Amino acid sequence: MGMYRHKCLGAQLMELLSMDQLDFSSQQPGTLTDEEFESLRTNGIKVNYYVICQKKLWLYSHDIRMETRNERVSLGRLLHQRAYRDQSRRELLIDNLIKIDLLEGSGKVLEVKYSRRMREAARLQVLYYLYYLKRLGVTGLTGELRFPREKRRESVLLDETAERQVEAALRDIRRIEQLPVPPLVEFMPICRSCAYAELCWG
């Protein structure tokens, strides 16, 4: 991860957030080396699916995509687009890998979700975004989960414990992806509304 990349990202974030308190540090978080992080980094959807269902993660990682035909996924995308229109938000694609939703002027990385039912998955996803940014040298940001249908919001902070949690998840995601067949899972209530339900359960 070169300094040029850090400075380019830093300039983009400073322009979007207008935050003098943002820090651009060369100190790396957690215990992963740069080489390990480069080999393990992934997109936010996989981190989210890792918490929800490891079979779903495996299928998605092997280019089996069912989301486009799922009504709940479509509703979630529509909610993400229409929620908080009165606030200045900007999507930023980093490394053509993670897409973060920034609330301009606040230093917050947002994640808008349809409901709190999958909040732990959403929380780890935001922690991963904060961790990824910190690997690039960007600190001083916080995360926020928003559930507009329920008029709820939750703060997400990246501390040392959260960094270890993200690293453990990245290692386990890679392990699951490398399995020759999808892992066995038991039927769960969330399976009924899952985009992959028909594929998994017929």
Residue 197 domain-assigned (yes or no): no
Q: How far is it, in rounded angstroms, from Cα 96 to Cα 119?
A: 25
Residue 202 lies in a domain: no
The answer to the question of residue 72 being in a domain is yes
User: For residue 160, what pLDDT is reported?
Assistant: 95
pLDDT at 115: 76
Which phi and psi angles does 28 have, rounded to 5°? -90, 145
Q: Where are the beta strands (DSSP E) in the chain?
A: 23-24, 89-94, 98-103, 108-112, 138-139, 142-147, 152-156
Residue with tokens 């949690």: 165
Q: Is residue 191 part of a domain?
A: no
Rg of the chain over Cα atoms, rounded to whole angstroms, equals 17
Q: Residue 89 falls within a domain, yes or no?
A: yes
Q: Is there a domain that residue 200 lies in?
A: no
Q: Give the Cα separation of 177 and 5 in Å (integer).
A: 28
pLDDT of residue 71: 56
pTM: 0.82
**Residue 176 within a domain:** yes
Write down the residue that tokens 């008029």 correspond to: 151
Instruction: List the pLDDT tens digit at each of the 202 positions of the chain.
Output: 444 455 456 556 655 555 544 555 555 666 899 999 999 999 999 999 999 999 999 999 999 988 766 555 555 555 555 555 555 667 788 898 998 887 766 788 988 887 788 899 999 999 999 999 999 888 889 999 988 878 888 999 999 999 999 999 999 999 999 999 999 999 999 898 888 888 898 7
- In which domain, by residue range, is 180 found? 3-184
Total count of domains within the chain: 1
Q: Is residue 44 part of a domain?
A: yes
pLDDT on residue 113: 81
Identify the pLDDT of residue 78. Answer: 54
Q: What is the CATH number of the domain that holds 100?
A: 3.90.320
Indicate the length of the chain as a whole number: 202
Per-residue confidence (pLDDT) for residue 68, from 0 to 100 = 64
pLDDT for 150: 82
Asked if 92 and 16 touch (Cβ cutoff 8 Å), the reply is yes
Are 173 and 52 in contact, with CB atoms under 8 Å apart? no
